[in-house]
Amino acid sequence: MDWLSEYKKRLISADEAAKLVKSGDWVEYGFGINCARDFDEALAKRKDELTDVKIRCDIGCYQHFTAEADPEGNHFIWNSWHVSGQDKKFIGKNLYYIPMKFHENPMMTRKDCAPDDVSVIQVTPMDKHGYFNFGGSSVNGWAAMETAKIRILEVNNNMPRCLGGNQENVHVTQVDYIIESKNEPIATIGSSEPSDVEVKIAEYIIERLFDGNCIQLGIGGTPNAVGKMVAASDLKDLGVHTEMYVDAYLEMFKAGKITGACKNIDRYKQVYSFAMGSQELYDYIDDNAGLASYSVDYTNSPVVIAQIDNFVSINACIEVDLFGQVCAETVGTRHISGTGGQLDFVEGAYKSKGGQSFICLPSTIEIKGQVTSRIKPVLSPGAIVTDPRTATHMLVTEYGIANMKGKSTWERAEALVNIAHPKFRDQLIKEAETMNIWRKSNKLEGTGAINF
C-alpha cells in the first residue's frame, strides 16, 4: 500500500486545522508531552471568532497559547485531568480540574465526558507501515480519538517512539488530518536533589525493599531519593510497573538493578503509561524493546497491580490527619495537582502478595516563617481526601513508618503521633483526646524511628 499518498491527502497546516473548531466545541489535547502545541498556537489566533471553546488536557507541558490569549475564559476554557506544569499558571482563572481516579480516565472519556468535537495529539513521524506512535504517552490517546468527530495528529520529529504494550499506535487511515509541526523540542523536567529529610524518609523505605520487588515511583523528592538509593544499593532483579517513567528508573537500570525477571506478568519488561524527564530519558525510551507503553487503564488498574507479587508503591502527599486520611492535591482549597494514580497504586500494591504501599511526607512545613505540622488532628478546611483512611497503608516521615492497616482509631492516632515532629506531639495528643481517639494506655515512643 502507498501509505505516503494517504498521508499527503490528510496533510494540512496548523492554521487550517484550527479553522475546523467551532464555537461551543470540546477539543481534547494529548497527554503530557503529547499535548498539542502548534495547533493551540494557531487556535489562539482565532480568539475573536470563537466563544465557549472547551479544551481538555492532562499535564499540559507546553505554552497554553489559548489560555494566555483569553485570561477571562470567554473564548477558551481549559479543563485539566491533572494540574501540573503550565496548567498551574491558569488554575482558578480560566482552567479547572476534572476529578478522577487515573485508571478510570479512558473509561470516563468513552462513557461520561462530553464527546470531543476535535482531538489533537502530538505524535512521532509515520513509519513505513503507515503507523504513527503516541510516543511519550499511551494514557488515553485512543479513548479520546474514539469519541472525537475529527481526529488530528501533530507530527513532531523529536518525539520518542515508544514500543507497546497496547494502544500506543494509530494508523494513517484512522485519522482525518495531519499537521507537520515546527518540531519544537519535547518538554523536559528536571529532577531536583532530595533534601536531608527526604533522604531520611527514603532510608526507612529502602530498609524494607528486597530482591525481586516491582517498584512504582510517584512524583516528588522522596520517590526520587529512593530511586537513587536503589541504584547505589545491592538490590537486584527489580521490576518496573508504573504510570510515570522518570529518570530514577534510568539510573536504576544503568546500575544493573532492573531485570524484571521476577514479575508475574509482563516479565522482563519495564511497563509504564507515560514518560516525563530529561532528554537522556527520552533518548533511552526511544525504540527500546525492553520497555512497554500501555494505556493507563492497564498500568493503573488495581486488579492488574495486585497480580504482581512484592509490589512496592512510593508516593508523596501534602498532609495527613490522625485518622489516616491523606491529602495529596490541595492546600486547603488551593488546588496544587490532582488525585492522579496515587489511589490506584495504594489499593493495588496493598492487595499484591507481599505488597507495600508508602505515602511519604516531611513531618513539618514552613510557610512564611512559621513551622507547622503536616500531621494534623483533621485535614485543613477544604483539603481534598486523596486516599481515604480505609485505603491508606503505610505513612512515612523522617521519624519512621506508621502502618494504618488493621488499626482502630486510637491505634492510628498513636502510630501517627509517634512519627510526627516531637515539637507537635503533645498538642496532637490533646487534640486526639478531644476527638475521643486517645486511650489512657496509649504510649509515646520518643523520637526514634517507630515501625508498627
CATH number of domain containing 328: 3.40.1080.20
Please give the pLDDT value at position 223.
Answer: 82
H or E, element range at 345? helix 342-351
Kindly list the catalytic residues: 243
Q: Are 98 and 78 in contact (CB under 8 A)?
A: no
User: Which residues have a Cβ under 8 Å from the Cβ of 315 and sit 6 or more positions away?
Assistant: 218, 219, 220, 223, 328, 342, 345, 346, 357, 358, 359, 360
Q: How deeply is 353 buried, as exposed, middle or buried, from its count of CB atoms within 10 A (0-12, 13-18, 19+)?
A: exposed
**Where among 126, 153, 180 does a domain terminate?**
180
Work out the number of other CB atoms within 10 angstroms of the CB of residue 108: 17
Please give the pLDDT value at position 446.
Answer: 56
The verdict on 245 and 370 lying in the same domain is: yes
User: Where are any strands of DSSP class E within 69-167?
Assistant: 76-80, 95-97, 118-123, 131-133, 150-155
The verdict on 281 and 162 lying in the same domain is: no
258-277, pLDDT tens digit by residue? 999 999 999 999 999 999 99
Rounded Cα distance, 425 and 31, in Å: 42
**Where among 152, 180, 208 does a domain terminate?**
180
Q: Is residue 53 part of a domain?
A: yes
Cα-Cα end-to-end distance for the chain: 64
Please give the pLDDT value at position 447.
Answer: 44
Rounded Cα distance, 451 and 394, in Å: 10
The verdict on 324 and 411 lying in the same domain is: yes
Cell of 392: 491508606
Please give the pLDDT value at position 451.
Answer: 41
**Where among 119, 153, 180 does a domain terminate?**
180
Nearest to 422 by CA among 441, 444, 396, 394: 444
Q: Are 225 and 199 in contact (CB under 8 A)?
A: yes
H or E, element range at 207? none
Given a cut of 70, the residues of the chain with pLDDT beneath it are: 446-452
Rounded Cα distance, 227 and 219, in Å: 11
pTM for this predicted structure: 0.94
Rounded Cα distance, 305 and 355, in Å: 10
Number of domains in the chain: 2
407-434, pLDDT tens digit by residue? 999 999 999 999 999 999 999 999 999 9
Please give the pLDDT value at position 444.
Answer: 78
Q: Are 418 and 434 in contact (CB under 8 A)?
A: no
